[in-house]
Amino acid sequence: MSKKKYLKDKWLYLVIGVCIYFVILLILLAFKVNIQATISISLIYFIGIFLILTVEYVRKAAFYSDFKKKLEALDQKYLIVEMLEDPNFLEGKILVDSLYEIDKSMIEKINEYKMQTHDFREYVELWIHEVKLPVSSLTLMVHNHKGEQNKKLLEQLSRLDKYLEQILYYVRSENAEKDYLIKRVNLAKVISNVALKNKDILLEKNIDFIVSDVNVVVQTDSKWLEFMVNQIIDNSIKYSKNKNAYIKIVAKEEKDRVGLIIYDNGIGISKSDLPRVFDKTFTGINGRSLSSKSTGMGLYLCRELCNKLGHKIQIVSQEGEYTKVTIFIYKNNFYHLEDD
């Protein structure tokens, strides 16, 4: 609160003060009060106004400049209420009380939404588990009653399951609660599970699946990692070429991290699309031009989950040549380890 701004704010009072002064002056002149008395009264009058303004300025300036400084320093602005000292003037008190009320009602509203989101999330999770039952049932039925359409049916069921997994992990990734468990996991086991999940389509599309040196133990949530690798492999399959297609998986152990590399000789990603592949719902040229549409969620989810687990994901590609995705899993001792 600068003095200039303060005075500008008080211009009306000043104008009234000056007007009253002129009235007083006229009365003094009318009663023919002598000149010394007139000057004295004028001086006292203006000193009085000056004192009143100064006292008010000092009281308010201290409070408001403190207020502004704290507000600027705060990351979560609404916490300002907790930091203010009690002002010693009426307006300040009204302000602080109002802020308190406003904050309270906002927090109540947010909690209401939080509860709603929480309930919704719980319902979605429950729903996903429910839907998995008919999917399992259908899978078993298809297996038990062998027919010509078997392969096609299983393919569609596996698609259904993939979409279910995607929404499940979307819900999990959006959630602030800790929903994962870091423990020692052998990468070979994760790769094996992903391989079995994709076996049929890999064989059908004649894509060679080459795995080497993955017998490495890392610290991660195996289910989350499995989901991520599954998404990446899914892309590799989707964007594979028709001839001599292969997917190579290898783990490279470095000093402070392990890099899980998934390399395919597919159609690759164009230079312009590459920086945006991790964006939510981004489906570049590849995603739009293929018959089986891309949701643009796979890689986004991979990065979200990686961030949560403290891993890093990196993608390198040459259009028409290859795509190479690496998940870096860091070694450190902060995690509490549980043995398999």
Partner 1 sequence: MAKIKIIEDDLSIANELKNLLENAGYEALITEDFSTVLEQVTSGNFDLILLDINLPKINGEVLLQQIRKDTNTPIIMVTSKNSEVDEVLSMSYGADDYITKPYNPTILLLRIGAVLKRSGRSVEKLSYRELEVIPQKGILEREQAEIILTKNEMIIFLYLLQNIGNIVTRDELMTDLWNNDEYINDNALTVNISRLRSKLKGIGYENAIETRKGQGYILHE
Paired sense of beta strands 246-253 and 208-212, if any: parallel
Longest CA–CA span in the chain (Å) reads 122
DSSP H stretches of helix in the chain: 3-9, 11-30, 35-73, 80-83, 90-144, 150-174, 187-204, 222-238, 285-289, 298-309
Question: For residues 103 and 125, which CB has a smaller minimum distance to partner 1 in the complex?
Answer: 125
Return d(Cα 286, Cα 283) in angstroms, integer: 7
* Mask for 133-172, x = binds partner 1 (CB under 8 A): xxxxxxxxx-xx------------x---x------x----
Question: For residues 180 and 282, which CB has a smaller minimum distance to partner 1 in the complex?
Answer: 180
Residues of this chain, 48-107, that bind partner 1 according to CB under 8 A: none
Structure tokens belonging to residue 259: 């890099």
Question: For residues 242 and 291, which CB has a smaller minimum distance to partner 1 in the complex?
Answer: 242
Q: How far is the CB of 135 from partner 1 (least distance, A)?
A: 5
Q: How far is the CB of 184 from partner 1 (least distance, A)?
A: 11
Q: Using CB atoms within 10 A of its CB, is residue 204 exposed (0-12), middle (13-18) or buried (19+)?
A: exposed
Question: For residues 117 and 137, which CB has a smaller minimum distance to partner 1 in the complex?
Answer: 137
* Mask for 30-59, x = binds partner 1 (CB under 8 A): ------------------------------
- Going by C-beta distance under 8 Å and a sequence separation of 6 or more, which residues neighbour residue 38? 25, 28, 29
Q: How far is the CB of 261 from partner 1 (least distance, A)?
A: 16
Q: How far is the CB of 286 from partner 1 (least distance, A)?
A: 25
Structure tokens belonging to residue 36: 């010394």
Beta-ladder partners of 262: 249, 325
Q: How far is the CB of 230 from partner 1 (least distance, A)?
A: 12
Paired sense of beta strands 322-330 and 208-212, if any: unpaired
- Going by C-beta distance under 8 Å and a sequence separation of 6 or more, which residues neighbour residue 307? none
Kindly state the number of chain residues that form the binding site for partner 1, as judged by CB under 8 A.
39
Are the CB atoms for 158 and 200 separated by under 8 Å? yes
244 contributes a contact to partner 1 by CB under 8 A: no
* Mask for 191-220, x = binds partner 1 (CB under 8 A): xx--xxx-x---x--x-xxxx---------
Question: For residues 52 and 140, which CB has a smaller minimum distance to partner 1 in the complex?
Answer: 140
Binding residues for partner 1, rule: CB under 8 A, are 128-129, 132-141, 143-144, 157, 161, 168, 179-181, 183, 188, 191-192, 195-197, 199, 203, 206, 208-211, 221-224, 338
